[in-house]
Chains A and B, each alone.
Chain A
Amino acid sequence: MMSYLFLLPAFGFFLLFVAYPMVKGVYISFFDYSLRDFSFIGLDNYISLIKDDNFMKSMGNTLLLVLITVPIVIIFSLFVSMNIYKKKEFARSFFRGVFYLPAVSSVVSITVVWGWIYHPNYGILNYLTGLFGMEPVSWLGDTRTALLAIIVVLITTSVGQPIILYVASIGNIPTSYIEAAEIDRATPWQIFRKILWPMLMPTNLYIIVITTINTFQCFALIQLLTSGGPVYSTSTVMYGVYEQAFMLGHFGYASAMGVILAIVIGIISIIQFKYFGSDVEY
């Protein structure tokens, strides 16, 4: 009996604020639920979504964001971790701190400074590219560069946790394996490919999955830097959910978007588990 009492607060909050809204989210996606209306319309929201060019563009942007961001985050964090895991505790803390800073400081602060760096007239980026003779670019205002500009900021905010995890995991790999390989004159690349990468598989899987989910959920960067513009070039599904629900009041339509996004994330996570979830243990 006592056990249930200990469990009750956490489980109660969980049921009320996580489990119930999840079920309700699926439920209201079948309704025309707006400020004026609440009527059952079956699959109409989903049918409209498929025909909605802006939604399709947002979905494309979201997938592009994941496809570019996740591999770069993995490669970058692995690179940093491999270079710092052997260092003294002080140096390790220093580097972990540096790369975690953007994740820990408020996303609002990150976006205001990047908004300034990217500014077409007095941004420092145009000044620097100008030194090399490049014409000034409206980084966030040009459909060709806006998504790229967002991706750069997104990567800086995403690498902190992977680096912490990789440093810990690489530190856990018995050094004798690497030393033995070095005695056999394996090249650093061979050591990485044949020893480190396979032994890091459980960590890789976790990092790939959380980075993918975080990228799908990326919202504040987009709202604060571009508001999805110009002409939907940086809009994502998450931003679309916000726009439809909280700016236009289309709760049913936004819920359907959320359900589709959740399904897409679910499918991608399953693929990742299948592909990377080989049962390497050490």
Chain B
Amino acid sequence: MNYTTNPLELKAPIIQSKKVSAWRKELTIPKIIATILLILATIFFIFPFYWVVSGAFKLQTVATTIPPEWFPLKPTLQNWTELFKNPVERWMFNSFIIAFAEMAAICIVSSCAGYVLAKKSFPGRGIIFTLFVAAMALPKQVILVPLFTMLADFGWVNTYKGLILPAIGWPFGVFLMKQFAQTIPGELIEAAKIDGSSEIRLFGTIILPLLKPAVGALAIFTFITSWNDYFSQLIMTRSTSMMTLPLGVATLRGEFTTNYGLLMAGAALASIPMIAIFLMFQKAFTQGITMGAVKG
């Protein structure tokens, strides 16, 4: 562009170039290809879920026909009655009780710790926070085996204690709450102190309500993580009655013959609660993920 021209004459080319750019955004070939690829990727990601749900309502004989029946033409509930011949209610109860307990405990301990790490100064604060962050960055592989031998020594294998308590020592929760608590204005805390409120009252009536969005995000995050923590649940359970829903569903796979209808019913049951929770609270969940990734 020729900058020596009269500024007034510049107007026209700018408007034109904006139009060109808008047009380019809408219709170019790369744009069309990108949209097609996005649609294909979406189908590729949704298909397995469609296949689980439709498979759950197919008879075993139908599930294994080739060419496949794309839609269950004769839907049946047989897989579901078959599924509930297993202790499914017990597995669901275990999954929910473990996830709720971990969620509540992590939210409480993390918000307390996050608050003091963000807003109080005391000897050792820096070291303690560094320890949490370092543990978050370090891989957990080294922990699994010694943690298991330790819990075995405690006699906690195949108990709720063994399934719930180790998960509470989760540095990410503390980190997330500390990041969020830092945004609370110090004046609020000062004002409450001048009014003579005790630390615990201050935390309960002022800090906790302000932390609510972060606690919400952490709660959903913890719940989903706990429900899907397959490895820990696998090594910590021994009896069918202590299994969680995903573990129970995994046992439905036959060694040589597999009843796919039954398996899909189980798979649907194991994921539907989490998908529902995620869709309901997507906003809070998304914020939690983003908050945890932002540098402090």
- Residues of chain A touching chain B, judged by Cβ–Cβ distance below 8 Å, are 2-4, 6-7, 9-11, 13-22, 24-28, 33, 76, 79-80, 83-84, 93, 95-102, 104-110, 112-117, 121-122, 124, 127, 156, 161, 164-165, 168, 182-183, 185, 188, 202-203, 206, 213, 216-217, 219-220, 223-224, 237-238, 241-242, 245-246, 251, 254-255, 257-259, 261-262, 265-266, 269
Chain B nearest Cβ from A167, distance in angstroms: 9
From B18, B131, B267, give the contact of A109 (CB < 8 A): B267
* Cβ distance A75 to chain B, nearest Cβ, rounded Å: 12
Q: Does B48 contact A (CB under 8 A)?
A: yes
| Stretch from B34-42, B73-81, B82-90, B182-190 at the A interface | B34-42
Instruction: Give chain A residues whose Cβ lies under 8 Å from the Cβ of B35.
Output: 83
In-complex Cβ contact of B48 among A102, A168, A185, A238 (8 A): A102
In the complex, the answer to whether B230 meets A80 with C-beta atoms within 8 Å is no
Cβ–Cβ < 8 Å partners of A217 in chain B? 139-141
Whether the pair A10, B52 counts as a contact (CB closer than 8 A) is no
Contact with A along B52-75 (1 / 0, CB 8 A): 100100000001111110000000
**B159 on interface, CB distance cutoff 8 Å:** no
Q: Can you list 9 contacts pairing A with B, beta carbon distance less than 8 Å?
A: A6-B113, A10-B110, A14-B169, A18-B169, A22-B143, A33-B149, A99-B41, A116-B258, A127-B68
Q: B278–A18 contact, CB under 8 A? A: no
| A3-B120, A165-B289 given; A202·B264 CB < 8 A | no
Q: Check if B290 sits within 8 Å of A183, measured CB to CB.
A: no
Whether A17 pairs with B51 at a CB distance below 8 angstroms is no
Verify if B135 is at the interface (C-beta below 8 Å from A): yes
Does B194 have its Cβ within 8 Å of any Cβ on chain A?
A: no
For residue B132, CB closer than 8 A to chain A, the reply is yes
Flag if B231 contacts A109 (CB, 8 Å).
no
B16 to nearest A CB, angstroms? 11
Q: Is B279 an interface residue (CB 8 A)?
A: yes
Give chain A residues whose Cβ lies under 8 Å from the Cβ of B203.
Answer: 6
Closest to A221 in B: B230
A251 and B145 in contact, given A10-B113, A11-B113, A107-B228 (Cβ under 8 angstroms): yes
Contact between B49 and A101, CB atoms less than 8 A apart: yes
Which of A13, A95, A121 has the most CB atoms of chain B within a 10 A radius of its CB? A13
Instruction: Tell me if B216 counts as interface (CB < 8 A to partner A).
Output: no
Which residues on A sit within 8 Å (CB–CB) of B145? Answer: 25, 28, 241, 245, 251, 254-255, 258
**Shortest beta-carbon distance from A22 to chain B in Å:** 5
Across the interface, do A18 and B171 meet the contact criterion of CB distance under 8 Å?
yes
User: Which residue of B has the minimal Cβ distance to A124?
Assistant: B68
- B residues sitting closer than 8 Å to A (CB atoms) are 14, 17-18, 21, 30, 34-35, 37-38, 41-42, 44-46, 48-49, 51-52, 55, 63-68, 108-110, 112-113, 115-117, 120, 122, 125, 128, 131-132, 135, 137-150, 165-171, 173-174, 199, 203, 224, 227-228, 230-231, 234-235, 245-247, 249-250, 253, 258, 260, 263-264, 266-268, 270-271, 274-275, 278-279, 282-283, 286, 289-290, 293, 295
Nearest CB of chain B from residue A70's CB, rounded to whole Å: 15
Which A residues are in CB contact (< 8 Å) with B41? 76, 80, 99
- With CB as the reference atom, state the residue of chain A lying closest to B120: A3
User: Which 5 residue pairs spanning A and B have beta carbons closest together?
Assistant: A105-B271, A10-B113, A13-B169, A109-B267, A17-B169
Q: Which of A19, A76, A183, A242 contacts B131 (CB 8 A)?
A: A19
Give A104's nearest chain B residue, CB to CB: B278
> How far does the alpha carbon of A109 sit from the alpha carbon of B64 in the complex, in Å?
18
Q: Bound complex: CA of A165 vs CA of B291, how far in Å?
A: 9
- Beta-carbon nearest neighbor of B125 in chain A: A3
Q: Give the chain B neighbours of A19 by CB distance below 8 A.
A: 131, 135
Pair A168/B271 contact, Cβ less than 8 Å: no
Please determine whether B14 and A183 come into contact, CB atoms closer than 8 angstroms.
yes
Query: Within the complex, which residue of B139, B267, B293 is in contact with A213, where a contact is CB–CB below 8 Å?
Result: B139
Q: Which of A117, A127, A161, A206 contacts B67 (CB 8 A)?
A: A127
On whether the beta carbons of B263 and A112 are closer than 8 Å, the reply is yes
